Amino acid sequence: MLFNSLTFVVFFLLVLTLHYSPLSWRTKKINLLIASYLFYAAWNPPFVILLLISTIVDWHVAKWIDVATTQSKRRIFLILSMATNLGILGYFKYGEFLLQNWQLFMLNFGIDYQVPEWSIILPVGISFYTFQTMAYSLDIYLKRAKPATSLLDFSLFVSFFPQLVAGPIVRPTHLIPQFETPHYANLKQFWWGVNLMILGLFQKVVIADTLLAPSVEAVYNSHEPMSMLDAWLGTLAFSGQIFSDFAGYSTTAIGVALCLGFSLPTNFRFPYAAIGFSDFWRRWHISLSTWLRDYLYIPLGGNKKGERRTYINLMLTMLLGGLWHGASWNFVIWGGLHGIFLSIERILRSRVGDAEVLLNTWLKVALGLLTYILVNITWVFFRADGFENAISLISSMFGFASVGAKTPLPTLYIIQVIIVISSLVSAHWLMRNTTLEAVYQKLPAWLVSVILVLMAFTVIITQGSGNAFIYFQF
């Protein structure tokens, strides 16, 4: 079910009614669990079975790990959990990709291996909830936490509908305790939750789908060499589209949970005002970057096993982080580029250190803009259909397009992209050291009303065509 759909409006009103009715807390949690399964089934009912498998396996395995008397037994149980979760993820998400690459590999030996037709539908949000359940088993294995005591609470943790299909990826220690005791929103939390929902939908429906998506599609669906200006504008538009789409989902999810009295972690902190790539990853998809850090980078050794190993760990983490987004070499390249930029930054920091010149405001802005430009170059691989199209677009961005290059963007689109992207990046810079809550706290009531009405009104009149969120596919 999409947040930006009429079905969700009706669904959420029913959920709220049940949540605030005079029922026992246990009954309300059962209601939320049923609602969460319905939320997932509303897209494709049979795939609820995957949620159930993941829930049952990790519930039991975590208990077995906890009571196991030897390290080898603990390891076997952990492998069982990982094999189940990664097996489901691998089969549905990477099966076709692996087969195609196997075919190419075999061709090197002169064997024409015929790939069977692969018509498996990718279950929406599978990467999110498998990572969430793996975190639970890993926490128990690494003795960072004890198992949950209630199967109902654990099932709700795996399937909690506000963040089920596109995050934020929530840690078990954050969410499960909230289910143990009754949680309701007071009036201030409830209305702030509503405000966040409207803001998130505004980002998705108005900014991403209406103002930016047409320019992105015009450029990226063209598949022909184009002018430098159009290539850059299309890519800048995509940077705004993917941020507004994904941050919009996270903001809506946080708002939905808050209306019910639950707290989800922040997933974005104005990432286009990042100075450097390590700063970018502290601001972009925070729940994934911290997951990769805590369950991949640090267990690999992090920066504790020498300089060379640190860079290897960094690259491995980013390459796998790229692959997490999708079964395509373009995502691997995207992750690899981020890994390279992070490594270069690390080398520069070790050489330059905390030089005083770095405290200069203008230099900070210049470094921030450089970061944003480099992030945009990586986005080309994220969005383009295939490697050749990505290279063609990057060639166009650097002025190497052939004579007679296309100009697919009409003047109106160009104006739209320039206004929206400059506003977005400026807003990120203005708010880079603060929070949305702190900014709202200082606004007069009438201005909050006007902003709220402006966003709600444009969401309602724009409607959109019920486009799925980009990150659903991951």
Partner 1 sequence: MPSSISSSNSKPDLSCDEMQEFNAEHGSKTIETHDEVYSKKQHIPYRVIPQLSWSKIMFFALPLLIFSLASWEFLAYKMGHRSGTYQTGFDNMWAEERRKLDKPNNIKMVLLGSSRVLWGMDFNIMREHLGSQPLQLALPGTGPALFVKDIVDNTNFDGLLVVGVTPFLFNRMDEGHFGKGALDAYHHQSPSGYTGAKLQDFLSDYFAFLDEGIFDA
Active site residues: 325
Binding segment toward partner 1, per CB under 8 A, in 214-222, 261-269, 357-365, 415-423: 261-269
In the bound state with partner 1, the residue whose beta carbon lies nearer, of 185 and 380, is: 185
Q: How far is CA 165 from CA 161, 242, 294, 326, 373, in A?
A: 8, 16, 21, 15, 30
Q: Does 429 bind partner 1 (CB under 8 A)?
A: no
334 CB burial (10 A radius; 0-12, 13-18, 19+): buried
- The correct pick among 104, 344, 415, 450 for binding partner 1 (CB under 8 A) is 450
1-20 residues near partner 1, rule: CB under 8 A: 1-2, 5-8, 10
In the bound state with partner 1, the residue whose beta carbon lies nearer, of 312 and 452, is: 452
Cα–Cα distance for residue pair 319/34, rounded to 1 Å:
37
Q: Does 43 bind partner 1 (CB under 8 A)?
A: yes
Cα–Cα distance for residue pair 253/409, rounded to 1 Å:
33
Shortest distance in whole angstroms from residue 112 CB to partner 1: 28
Query: At a CB cut-off of 8 Å and minimum separation 6, what does 435 contact?
Result: 269
Phi first, then psi, for residue 299 (nearest 5°) are -60, -25
Residue type, 343: S
Cα–Cα distance for residue pair 52/369, rounded to 1 Å:
45
Shortest distance in whole angstroms from residue 138 CB to partner 1: 9
Cα–Cα distance for residue pair 248/255, rounded to 1 Å:
10
Establish how many alpha carbons lie within 13 A of residue 310's alpha carbon, considering only the half-sphere containing its beta carbon. Answer: 10
In the bound state with partner 1, the residue whose beta carbon lies nearer, of 161 and 331, is: 161
- The correct pick among 191, 311, 329, 429 for binding partner 1 (CB under 8 A) is 191
Cross-strand bridge partners of residue 226: 406
In the bound state with partner 1, the residue whose beta carbon lies nearer, of 75 and 304, is: 304
Cα–Cα distance for residue pair 182/234, rounded to 1 Å:
48
Before 168, cis peptide (omega within 30)? Answer: yes
Binding segment toward partner 1, per CB under 8 A, in 228-236, 259-267, 383-391, 423-431: 259-267
For residue 241, which of 282, 202, 211, 221 has the smallest C-alpha distance? 211
Site map for partner 1, 134-173, x if CB under 8 A?
Answer: -----x---xxxxxxx---------------------xxx
Cα–Cα distance for residue pair 61/299, rounded to 1 Å:
20
Query: At a CB cut-off of 8 Å and minimum separation 6, what does 217 contact?
Result: none
Cα–Cα distance for residue pair 289/10, rounded to 1 Å:
34
Tokens describing residue 425: 């990046």
Q: Does 280 bind partner 1 (CB under 8 A)?
A: no
20-39 residues near partner 1, rule: CB under 8 A: none
In the bound state with partner 1, the residue whose beta carbon lies nearer, of 77 and 381, is: 77
Binding segment toward partner 1, per CB under 8 A, in 256-264, 316-324, 350-358, 371-379: 256-264
Q: Does 304 bind partner 1 (CB under 8 A)?
A: no
Q: Does 359 bind partner 1 (CB under 8 A)?
A: no
Shortest distance in whole angstroms from residue 201 CB to partner 1: 14
- The correct pick among 17, 21, 27, 44 for binding partner 1 (CB under 8 A) is 44
Binding site for partner 1 (CB under 8 A): 1-2, 5-8, 10, 41-45, 139, 143-149, 171-174, 176-178, 180-181, 183, 186-189, 191-192, 254, 258, 261, 263-266, 269, 282-283, 290, 293-294, 298, 435, 437-438, 440-441, 445-446, 448-450, 452-453, 456-457, 460-461, 463, 465-466
